[in-house]
Structure 1
Amino acid sequence: MSASFSLALGAAREAAASQHYPQAALYIVATPIGNLADISLRALHVLQICDAVACEDTRHTQSMLRAYGIDRPGAQLLAVHEHNEAEAAQQVIERLQQGGRIAYASDAGTPAVSDPGARLVAAVRAAGFRVVPLPGASSVTSVLSVAGALGDAGAFVFAGFLPAKAGERDAAVARLGQEPRAVVILEAPHRIEALAKSFAVLGARLVTVGRELTKQFEQVATVSCDAFAAWLDADSSRTRGEFALVLHPAPQAKADGEGLRVLALLMNELPLKTAVKLAAEISGESKNVLYDKALAMKGAGSSQAPQ
């Protein structure tokens, strides 16, 4: 433990000790995705006071705890990973039945988001025990915050890891190509080149690549999907590390005056969806764009053709 984390433990006690931490509760603890300094004060406090720590990898979590100056005997570390989660959840529930406070931490980031933890949380809740979130580091929100891809709408889809098999991955990318919102995708280094090749079919649509986020060799770059593979090939170091990516929203086509005029006339006589469908067929413009325009016109209380 460095002197700085010694101070952090003291700060955690000062800031968080006076708060309420119910017994017989599971605490979902977000841990750093690469930079140890990204731990929260409340997380440090809970990791000190809990009766046991359930974790994806006991060796990894033990090393992290010791870096912060928290030393726990092996009996207080419970392995809960993707291969034993259903069975291990029962061990956690037994400890909760005895009134214990149990913290759960995956190897990095917020548990149960493309990491083990979801089945554990479901089992604990089904057994009638409280689950308490301790927010913190997340590759999903980290990459979104630097991608500049959300715009005014602020909407995105989390796709997680795409299928490993080529055919299934290509089909998944094709489906994402129809998604108008931003999409967050996670990928491992040994599959990033294959993913980049699959992305080529999306053409000029932008993708922000977050590599080794929060770590020493962090890199964030935005390229077109059809240039993604070439960007990786340009530097061998770009295929190393963990990846979080944001597929930017598809460019929105704009309805011109003719499409809006036809839409307004049809809305005077027909239900909204029927009017949109016919207006798109007549004008050749995007059905989705015309539908958004129709909702705006209806909300404004006007279906008159624009002047």
Structure 2
Amino acid sequence: MTLTVAAREVVGVVGETGCGKSLTGLAVLGLLPKGAVPSGRVLLKGVEQPLDGSGSARGDAVSIVFQNPGTAFNPVFTLGRQMRDVVDRHRRVDGRPLGRAASKAHILHYLEQVGLPDPERAYRSYPHELSGGMLQRAMIAMALVCEPELLVLDEPTTALDVTIAKQILELILSLRDRFGFGVLLITHNLGVVREVCDRIAVLYAGRVVETGPTDAVLQAPAHPYTRGLLGALPARHRPGDPLEAIRGAVPGNLLGLEGCSFRERCPMAVEMCASVDPVLDPVAPLHEAACIRAADIERGRS
């Protein structure tokens, strides 16, 4: 699987539960679960990062915002204490940690940048004393205190209501423009992808099966799996019409699986799909799909 994120670019990673979206984000940070046998490479500006997390750029150049800030923060410490721990570990001046006063000033600056109305109060607060939206803003601030070059967002709006979720997405884009970091946005919400992402990568069974500019992929999907995801959206159906569900489930064990991993669920599968493991091939400028029937789909549209 090849996935790239440029500076100031927002790349959305989408797919069903179990497709490997969150695991991909954790791999970037060297946070794979114990017992995982990693392969492949993670490069940051051409420098390879260890997949086991030892000596990785996690916290220095790459940060993550988890989907539920209520469980991501430690409930027995104030936000300021937890953010100071991050700053003390990753921020240095002439090789030495920032002093207490400088560390607090640095943290208050980022609490203000994420739009918290009273940064000093948030600094002194325990997680349970803030609302979900305020806590998510604080989580974003904690990810930014080390001034990362890449921000990984793992379902950052799942635990929020629609109005607050929209505000958080607008905040992320504003911060991206202000600080210039790239964003890897992990989500199952194609509406969010359409709204904020420059490019999209559709994941299935741990592999990118389609990628390209967001508008190109959503308007002219070239992989049957992407077509299935879009076909299940209520907005694409008239009121009262049944939704188009993708039959079956994501395979749980990929070891020894031959051919296309989607073939058992694919309405366009042919005999060759059982033996050919498709790779990403161009279907349009900057638009690629891993399907031997992609050309047939394109012809069907013309």
Q: Which has the higher helix share?
A: 1
Using CA pairs below 8 Å that are at least 6 residues apart, which structure has the higher relative contact order? 2
Bigger radius of gyration among the two: 1
Do Structure 1 and Structure 2 share a fold, with TM-score over 0.5? Answer: no
Q: TM-score, normalized by length of structure 2?
A: 0.30
Given the two structures, how large is their TM-score scaled by the length of structure 1? Answer: 0.30
